[in-house]
């Protein structure tokens, strides 16, 4: 819930943290309450320093063995971060007060993590009968929240129906999460709008509203909601990224760059910040400035092969844009070495790079091998279609996508925007309008990429279809 929205930014917490860190530097002993130790550990955990978080918890447990708060957090670290269910059970067993509601939630969560949903629900039902009447409202909402965290929408809804206070912020927040899981973005936006009216200084609710508006294609509204969150807390990273994403989606690249750079300054150890900045610089036609950011991202993802392979892929595209083909192809080979890049995808990328230097014959070899080796995987055909589209081969793209659409299910989302563009450029007006409508309904973000040169910077996604259909 959002009640603790800005606690880590409060003077109270900062004073406690400073006392703790000063004592750690000097080696002096310090006395804090179990909850205070736990808040410090949560702060470290949220900032990606799990080892420090565990050190704080161990210090708390030396002073307060059996204390609820630090053991709850340590058990959840074992469960979620370390993915060690047995260790989570061991820490839970050390809790002295096993009648506390938080202990019930932890016990049930361990079962959920172990895919024992029926046992978890039976356990939570059995405890519900024993709870004091004045605690039942909190209990049903906390249980609904637990199910929401694990993606069990049906169980979440069942418990949420037991709530008797349908106007509380906690109920409304959970209701918003439920309708979001059902992809009812319009209702989610309405609820988050109500929550911001109830708690106008909650940056969390403004961020949730911004995210929901972004999903609905209301980009201008999303940016404005992000600005409210930033006004409340200038260092709110969710708000900063939300605004950057909004600006990027309306092609305000300079504005997006400013906010991605702000994010990177706040989180210098997060490789995604470097990726954001590098990607924007590449889109701005500044590949030389891009390289250090992708190299830094690669350095920060050491040990995470899948993510590092993606960083290598972006770096390869950058070298390709600089016409440094040997470096580009070598970088793709490094991505393959990380086992984070599919061999067929690598062939598509190499084909794309060969097209960039107009080596069509070699590109076709790579593309043909990728299609054959993947047994005509639709994803591979789609990637090839995008590659030829971006290099200006609209007739070939049209043919590839025509073939692709005979293979994919009715709810397939990708490629229709590129097909619409090809139809427009080839004078196929009826097909253009057909594919434009499908693309705007299913994947408007792809429209923003394919028709980037046609769309005004401040045009909302929901207006794409009418604007492009009327534009000659």
Residue 143, pLDDT > 70, answer yes
User: Where do the domains of the chain lie?
Assistant: 413-472
Average pLDDT of the segment spanning 226-232: 97
Q: Where is average pLDDT lowest: 73-77, 305-309, 359-363, 371-375? A: 305-309
pLDDT for residue 106: 97
Residue 472, pLDDT > 80, answer no
Average pLDDT of the segment spanning 224-247: 96
pLDDT for residue 193: 97
Task: Kindly state the percentage of the chain with pLDDT values over 70.
Answer: 98
Contact predicate 161/153, CB 8 Å: no
Average pLDDT of the segment spanning 104-119: 96
Residue 206, pLDDT > 90, answer yes
Higher-confidence position of 250 and 397: 397
Residue 5, pLDDT > 60, answer no
Work out the mean pLDDT of the chain and round it to a whole number. 93
pLDDT for residue 395: 97
Residue 3, pLDDT > 50, answer no
Cα(81)–Cα(121) distance, rounded to whole angstroms? 24
Burial 11-35 (b: 16+ CB within 10 A, else e): eebeebbeebeeeeeeeeebebebe
Q: Which token pair is 292?
A: 């250090």
Q: Decide: residue 294, CB within 10 A, 0-12 exposed, 13-18 middle, 19+ buried.
A: buried
Query: What pLDDT digit, counting tens, does each position of 373-385 carry?
Result: 999 999 999 999 9
Higher-confidence position of 55 and 471: 55
Residue 340, pLDDT > 80, answer no
- What residue spans of 301-428 are helical by DSSP H? 305-321, 325-337, 343-356, 360-373, 378-390, 394-404, 416-425
Average pLDDT of the segment spanning 245-270: 93
Residue 4, pLDDT > 60, answer no
């Amino acid at each position: 819930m959002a009640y603790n929205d800005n606690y880590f930014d409060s003077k109270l917490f900062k004073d406690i943290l400073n006392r703790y860190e000063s004592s750690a530097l000097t080696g002096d002993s310090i006395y804090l309450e179990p909850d205070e130790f736990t808040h410090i550990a949560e702060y470290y955990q949220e900032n990606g320093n799990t080892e420090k978080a565990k050190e704080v918890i161990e210090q708390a447990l030396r002073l307060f063995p059996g204390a609820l708060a630090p053991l709850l957090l340590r058990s959840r670290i074992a469960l979620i971060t370390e993915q060690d269910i047995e260790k989570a059970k061991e820490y839970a067993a050390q809790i002295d007060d096993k009648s506390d509601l938080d202990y019930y939630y932890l016990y049930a969560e361990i079962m959920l993590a172990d895919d024992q949903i029926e046992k978890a629900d039976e356990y939570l039902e059995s405890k519900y009968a024993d709870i004091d009447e004045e605690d039942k409202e909190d209990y049903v909402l906390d249980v609904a929240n637990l199910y929401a965290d694990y993606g069990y929408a049906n169980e979440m809804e069942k418990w949420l129906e037991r709530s008797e206070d349908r106007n509380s912020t906690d109920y409304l927040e959970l209701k918003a999460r439920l309708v979001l899981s059902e992809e009812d973005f319009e209702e989610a936006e309405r609820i988050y709008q109500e929550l911001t009216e109830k708690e106008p200084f909650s940056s969390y609710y403004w961020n949730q509203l911004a995210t929901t508006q972004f999903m609905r294609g209301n980009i201008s509204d999303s940016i404005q909601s992000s600005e409210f969150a930033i006004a409340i807390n200038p260092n709110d990273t969710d708000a900063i990224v939300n605004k950057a994403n909004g600006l990027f989606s309306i092609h305000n690249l300079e504005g997006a760059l400013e906010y991605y750079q702000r994010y990177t300054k706040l989180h210098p150890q997060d490789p995604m910040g470097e990726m954001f900045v590098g990607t924007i610089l590449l889109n701005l036609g500044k590949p030389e400035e891009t390289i250090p950011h992708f190299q830094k991202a690669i350095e920060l993802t050491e040990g995470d092969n899948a993510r590092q392979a993606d960083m290598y892929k972006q770096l390869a595209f950058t070298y390709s844009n600089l016409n440094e083909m040997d470096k580009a192809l070598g970088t793709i080979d490094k991505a393959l070495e990380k086992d984070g890049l599919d061999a067929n995808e690598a062939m598509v990328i190499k084909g794309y790079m060969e097209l960039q230097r107009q080596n069509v014959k070699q590109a076709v070899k790579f593309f043909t091998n990728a299609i054959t080796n993947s047994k005509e995987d639709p994803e591979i055909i789609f990637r090839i279609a995008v590659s030829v589209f971006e290099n200006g081969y609209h007739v070939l793209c049209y043919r590839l996508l025509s073939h692709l659409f005979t293979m994919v299910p009715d709810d397939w989302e990708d490629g229709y925007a590129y097909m619409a563009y090809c139809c427009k450029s080839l004078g196929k007006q009826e097909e253009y309008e057909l594919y434009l409508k499908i693309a705007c309904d299913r994947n408007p973000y792809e429209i923003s990429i394919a028709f980037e040169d046609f769309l005004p910077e401040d045009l909302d996604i929901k207006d794409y279809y009418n604007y492009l259909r009327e534009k000659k």
